[in-house]
Amino acid sequence: MEKERRKEKNPDSFEIFKITESGLSDESDQEIIQKETENIDDTKVSKLSYHIKEIIKIIGDDPNREGLKKTPTRYAKALLEILSGYSSDPYKEINGAVFNLDYKGLVVVSNIKFFSLCEHHMLPFFGTASIAYLPKNKIIGLSKIPRITKVFASKLQVQERLTEEIGKFVEKVVGSEGVAVYISAYHLCLAMRGARKEDVVMETLFFSGKFKSDWELKKIFLEKIKKSEIDK
C-alpha cells in the first residue's frame, strides 16, 4: 500500500498534513509479528495453559479431545501476544524519532486500526483511532503514532482510558501545543452478551492545549475526522 501524505488548505491560514495509516511502518508486518512472538515467555505460556485447560473442563468440554488438545497452549500464546503492551515500552517504540522542525501547521494521522480487550469481560473491542497534534518546534516520526496506539491498546483496557493515555503520551513526547484524539470502536461485550446490540459504536474524544480553548481548531479536527469516516 502506498503512503498518503497530502497538503490541504484550511480557512484559517495554517496548513494541515493529513496522513493515513497506510505505509507508515518502517518495518514489515512480518518482522513486527516475529519480534512479538519471540518475546513470549514459555513459563507464562505453561501457567496460562494449565488454567485454560481447567476452564475448558469447567464449562463442560473435554480438553483432551482432538480439537482441543493444543488449544490451551495456542490460546495462552495468543493472549500474551494480544496483551503485549504489558511488556512493551512506548518510549522504545519511538526509538528517538522526534525531530526539530519549525512547522506551524496541524498534523493529523487518521484511520489507525486497533484491537484491544475490554477489562470488564476480556472480550475484544476494535475500531479506528485518529490523532492530531499542533507541533511546537518538534514533530514525531509518522510510523510512531500507530505504534504508540498499539502499545496502549495491547492491554486490558476501557476505551475512555485508552483515548486519554494515547493523547497524554503524544503530548508528553512531542511537547506540542495541543493534542486531539478520536476513537470509534465496536465492543463485543455488548454485541455477544447482555444487551446483544451488534451495531452500537462507541466514540471517545480527548483534547488538550489549544484544542481545548480554540473552538475553530477543534472544529477543523472534527470535520477532518468526519470526512475521513465518509471516505473509508
- Of 118, 157, 171, 177, the active-site residue reads 118
Q: How does strand 106-118 pair with strand 156-157?
A: parallel
- Of 27, 31, 54, 119, the active-site residue reads 119
Known active-site residue 118: yes
- Of 93, 164, 189, 229, the active-site residue reads 189
- Of 34, 54, 120, 216, the active-site residue reads 120
First CA to last CA distance, the chain: 15
Please report how many Cα atoms fall inside a 13 Å half-sphere around the Cα of residue 82, on the Cβ side.
18
Known active-site residue 36: no
Q: What is the DSSP string of 166-200?
A: HHHHHHHHHT-S-EEEEEEEEEHHHHSSTT--TT-
Q: In whole angstroms, give the CA distance from residue 148 to residue 108.
A: 15
| Residue among 210, 230, 226 at smallest CA distance from 105 | 210
Q: Which three cell numbers stand for residue 78?
A: 495468543
- Of 8, 81, 121, 229, the active-site residue reads 121
Known active-site residue 51: no
- List the catalytic residues: 118-121, 159, 187, 189
